[in-house]
Structures are given as structure tokens and as C-alpha cells.
Chains A and B, each alone.
Chain A
Amino acid sequence: MKKAFHLLLALTMIFTLSAACSSGNNEGNSGTVSSTAASTNSNESNSGAATEAPPKKVELKVFMSFPRFKDQFEQYFSQFKEKQLIEKNIDVTIQLEMPNADQAKQILQSRLSSGDAPDLYTLHANDIPTYYDAGYVADLTGQPFVDKLYDAVTETVKYDGKVAALPLESLSWGYLYNKKIFADNGLTPPQTLDEMRAVIEKLHTADVKPFLLAFQESWIPQLMMALSLGGTVSSTYPDWIEKMNAGEASYGDVRSVFDIIDIITENGTDKPFETGNEAGSAEFANGNAAMWVQGPWNAETILKVNPDMEFGVAPLPVSNNAAATMINLATSTSLALSPTSENKEVALDLLNYILDDQDSSALFEELKFNPIASVHTYEVFPWVNEASEYVSQGKAYLDLKLPNGVTDETAKLLQSYYIKDVTQDDIIEALDKVWETAVKAN
């Protein structure tokens, strides 16, 4: 009797486990069946324009690395759902995944290589070549949204002549400066290194810290190099990248990039490694420093701390040649489509809806992203206007496309540089090596 009871218990547990595993599959089917029944009833009671067939159920998996915009996107997607239901009679369920930016890359990579790719996912524009070559990005040339984009922006998401993703965050950036501090001290954004030194002198006499240093998150010090290298290469060594890719150049050729970096690090706030992005935004918003090498993507964070703060965007001088002082044009986050998506049409509809003629403007305004298409008609923020002025004067360049891994390595090396753990020569050697390895690996 006891034996039989124990056997029964064991068998029950095994069956429960196997039932739980397979119920995932069954639920989908039974769900559709019941909703079909329900909608057929509602359709029968609806006379007139409603179609005969029940709405098709489609599930889309969307992966976005902006947890701070969760509400906006959820609302936008529900608008899309309504639209799809009315126009195409498709009931779309969108599974929105929003991991933190620093974990997103690893999560995405594991999902992609295990075959569990999301239908749509955000991708940094610089990673497009790697992911495209691995076959995880679908070609989007010819989609309706492409025509609406500004040309310069489209260039930033093209690879191998094909449009690989939909740009979301497009930025014109240099460094941020506190307008009030500058006005109080009668300063204007400097255009050369000497002018920058003069500005710093004045700030010192006024007992204001010139630069905010927030190096805890390694991507922030790396911005200094991005601007410095970008300005130097775009003005003085236009073919440096090709030469580097061919192994004929070195970071030693552009050693002058360290000039502005030294100036910034020597005239900054204390304890930079205990200040992360949030803390840095708070300090900048509270006027603890006059300038911050950061981009306007932090606008929301800064304004949350101090909504009255007025900041501007100015190009970073990299030498005494005023022509090298330019704004960096880049696309950071873009949205890509997985070629293995089972619901390509609906996914493409969603993609195109992001740049929808009527609704896209409101979305981009709420996200405080720059306008990137002709359908964007909202009032831009004053700092965007300021940066765009430089762009329209031709004082801008497209963000440099560096090989995979060079940016991360730069980030780490600049942190070490600040604590004097490595010298300029060490950095040059290390970056050259990383570049060489990256080029070989591709």
C-alpha cells in the first residue's frame, strides 16, 4: 500500500513537470481558439463595416535599452496596437524588454547567438557592421521611413550601401556649458586651445571649477577622446582611419589629441571616480562646474535635477586651428529588425510607425530626441538649435567609425591615464594594438 502510494506521488510529480513544460505551447493555441470564438461573436453582433474574419493574433518581441523611456514607448505601442487593429485587423501583443544599457549588449548577444532573437531590437549604430556581418540585421533599404529621414542621418545607419537600421537617437554634440556661469563671467565658448586656456583662467579667478569630471562610468572619459580625435582627424588628417585600417598609421600621428584631454583633466572637479553619470548630472545642474564633456542625451537627467538650468552645446577646441573646432554628428541608438523574425510584416509596420507621419513627432518630442526626419515638426530645444547652427555653418563632422573594441579600450586607458597609471606612449601603443587586432578579427 505504502509502496503504491509513493509510486503514485512520484509519477504525479513527473507528469506535473512535463505538463508545465508543454503547457507553454498549448496555451498559445487555446488562447487563440477562445479569442476567435469571442471575436466571432462580437463580429456577428457588429453589422456593417467590420470584416468577417477574426483579428489575427501576432506577438512581437521588442528589445530596447532605454529603461528610462518605458512609459513613453508603452504608450506609443498601444497607439500602434489600436491602429493595427483598425487598419489591418491584426491584434498585436508587444513584449517590451528594457534592460539597462550596460547589460543590454550582453543580454542581446546571448539571445541572438542562442537563436532567440527579438523581432526588433536597439543597436548602437557603431555596432551595425559587426551584427550585420553575423547575419543578425535585416536590410531595410526601400522601406517607407527611409525617404523621410534627413540624408546626413541616413548615412550614419548605412552599411555596405544598405540601410541597416532605423535611427532613433541622433545627436549633435560637443561639450555642455552652464550658460549662467558663462554669462556671469562674460565668457563665450572658446574656439581655440588658447581661448580655452583664457576661459579657464577667468573661471579660476572666479573660483568656479572649469570642468566637471565624472569618470566612474568608463564611457564618459572616452567621450573626450571621441571629440578630440574626431575634430583632429576630420580637419587635419582626413584619411587617417583608412591608413589605420591598412596598418600604415598610428595614434602617434595624432598625439595632439592629448592636449585638450590634459587641459580638461587638470582643471576639473575632485574625486572623479566617485561620480557616475547621475551624480555628475546632478552636480552640473547645481552649477558645481562650468563645463562638462557630455552630450545632450543627458538633457533629461540634468533638467530633472534643476528644471531651470540653462545649458548650451559648444564644439570642443582641439588645437589652435579654429577650423578644427567642430560639432560631432552621430547616431547612437538605432532600431534593427531581425531577419529571422516570424512576423516580419507586422514588425516592419511597427518600425515604419516609429516615423509615422502623424504620431512620430509627438513621440520624439517627448523623448527629447533630435528631429531626424521631415515628419518631425516639434519645437526643438535651445541647445539643439545652438548645435544645429554650427552644423549649418559646416562646422560639423560625422562621428568616426572606429573598429569594435577600440572605444572600450580607450575608455579604460583614459581612466588609467587620469590616475597616471599609463603614459601617453602606453596609450598610443595599446590603442594601435587593439586596432590591429580588431581589423584582423573582421
Chain B
Amino acid sequence: MDMATRKWNKVVMLLVFVFPAFAFYTAFTLAPAFGGMWFSLTDWNGLNPVYHIVGLSNYAEAMGDRFFLKSLWFTAKFVLYMLVLQNVLAILLAVLVEALGRSKVWFRTIFFMPNMLSLIIGGFMWMFIFTRVFPYIAEKTGWMLLDQSWIGDPRYSFYAILALSLWGGVGYLMIIYIAALQGVPQHLKEAAKIDGAGAFAVFRNVTLPMIYPALTIGIFLTLNGSFKVFDAVYSLTGGGPGRSTQVIAINIFEEAFSFSNRYGYASAKAMILFGIVVIITIIQLAVMKRREVQA
């Protein structure tokens, strides 16, 4: 066989191996995405077999939609909090777990377990905690701080949703950071200690730069996931009361399937969300990749 055929064979082999996963991906992710793009240009109501093309008027309308913009703002606030809190907590937990001796694996499992539960189930569990357990504890111990309307009061429901998302998401990032921490060469840390650096200084100047790639991934995942948050909010507050905790995904979901059933308009809003996430993550990845350090 000559070089060209061998190369071709190789490509074909790779394609064949990737094919099953690619087929599923195309059928269940790509095709609906293209479908969504198509429907965003129509006024389909999700039911009627007849619909009309309305071009970009859906997009223009979305820009002026008061509730959509409000949900964008609310989601942005949520993303900011999540970004900082989730990564800080994950790094903290990773450092703590790594510093443990024999119970390392046990604790790793425990902290990762919430991630394995569906957030909807977690939501119901936390709903029970917020509405029944907290008031009970508050009564018994007198910690009135706990006796708020965690679900009903918009000031507190934000923190309730934050708590649930953190509980579910930190474990996953923690695992990534643990893996990164294990890749930091021991001799660098020892050298720093010999030079007289304290634990915190070692962490800041040696460990942190070495786990920078993991930080990139962690921030990317958090950004990506938090913008699309749905399960946590849906199961705790449903976007309520009213629209006070409505995130973008819920706004789109309700637009498409309740209210006036404006599937086409909702698809346009979904495309806008997609655009926002793509732009932000591209910028984030570009900025952070440049600053990565190799060992």
C-alpha cells in the first residue's frame, strides 16, 4: 500500500470508530439545534402544522422583551456568584482532601456524590430542607436567621438556588482540581519550602500557576453550565414567585410550552442565549489559555 491509501485507511478507521457516538450526537444534539435555528425564523406555536416565516422579527422582539432582559440580568448575577464560589470551594475542598491521609478516597466519594444525583431530585430534597427542616431548627435553637421564606421571598430564594447548584456542582470540579493538584511536581513545592515560604505562599506562587489549566477548565465549565441553569431553579422555585427568580432557560421554556405557546419566538431567544455563551466562553478560553504555564 502506498502512503496515500494508508492515510486514507487511517482516516476511514477513525471515522468508523467515532461513527456511533457521532450518529447519536448528530441525531440528538445537532439536528435539534439546526431545527431550532430554523424555527427561530418562524412563528410556529408548537402545535399547528401551518406556520409562517417571519425572518428576524423574533430576534428584534426579544431585544425589547422586558422579562427576557430581566432574566438575562438575573442569570448573569447567578453566573458571577457561581463562578467565584464554585471554583473557590472546589479548590478548597481539593486541597483539603489531598491533605488527608487514609480517608482521602472516602471523602472524595462523599463530596462527589451530590453530583451523581439528578438536580431535580436534589431540588426536592432541598425544598424539604428549606421549607420544613430550617424552620424547625430555627424554632428549636433560636437561630432566627434560618427561619426565612427561603423559597417564597425573592431575596432569599436566590441564595437557595445558589446553595443547591453549589451542592450539586462543586464535587465535579473538585475531582478535576484533585487531578491537577496531583500533577504538581513535589520537588517544586519542597524547593519553595526550603526557601522559607509558608504554606499559603507555596500555594499561591507554586501550586496555583501549575494548576492553571484546570482553572481554565473549571471556569469554562462553570460559565457554560451556569448560563444554562434550569433543573435547580425549576425544582426549587419554578422561576417564581412570579418571575423573580426566572433564569433564561426557564423564560425560554415557559415561552415555548406555556403562555402563548410561541415556539418560534422561544427558539430565537434560545439562539440568543447560545450566542452569548459562545462569545463569553471563546473570550474566556482565549484569555486564559495564553496565561497557562507548562511544567
Contacts and interface: CB of A to CB of B under 8 A. Distances in A.
B20 to A, nearest CB: 10
Interface in A390-442: 404-405, 408-409, 412-419, 421-422, 434, 437-438, 441
Interface stretch (A47-55, A225-233, A270-278, A313-321): A270-278
Nearest to B50: A134
B241 A215 contact: yes
B242 A415 contact: yes
Interface string B74-99: 00000000000000000000000000
Interface in A93-148: 105-106, 109, 112-113, 130-131, 133-136
Interface of B: 43, 45-49, 131, 149, 151-154, 237-238, 240-244, 254, 257-262
B257 A112 contact: no
Contacts of B240: 216, 218, 273, 412, 415
Contact of A109 (B149, B154, B243, B257): B257
A340 to B, nearest CB: 11
B149 A274 contact: yes
A218 B254 CA distance: 13
Given A271-B152, A273-B151, A274-B131, A417 B47 contact: no
B47 A112 contact: yes
A272 B152 contact: yes
A250 B108 CA distance: 60
A106 B256 CA distance: 9
6 contacts: A109-B46, A135-B48, A216-B152, A274-B151, A419-B244, A434-B260
B45 A441 contact: yes
B261 A413 contact: no
Contact of A419 (B242, B258, B260, B261): B242
B134 to A, nearest CB: 11
B242 A416 contact: yes
Nearest to A419: B241
Nearest to B257: A106
Contacts of B238: 218
A296 to B, nearest CB: 25
B260 A109 contact: no
A413 B67 CA distance: 12
A136 B242 CA distance: 32
B60 to A, nearest CB: 15
Nearest to B130: A274
Of B154, B237, B241, B254, the most chain A CB neighbours within 10 A belong to: B241
B46 A113 contact: yes
A130 B47 contact: yes
Contacts of A216: 151-152, 240
A130 B241 CA distance: 28
Contacts of A419: 152-154, 241-242, 244
Contact of A408 (B49, B241, B258): B258
Interface string A256-294: 000000000000000111100000000000000000000
Contacts of A422: 242
A134 B48 contact: yes
A131 B45 CA distance: 11
Contacts of A404: 260-261
Contact of B152 (A274, A416, A417, A438): A274
Nearest to B148: A271
Contact of A421 (B43, B47, B131, B244): B244
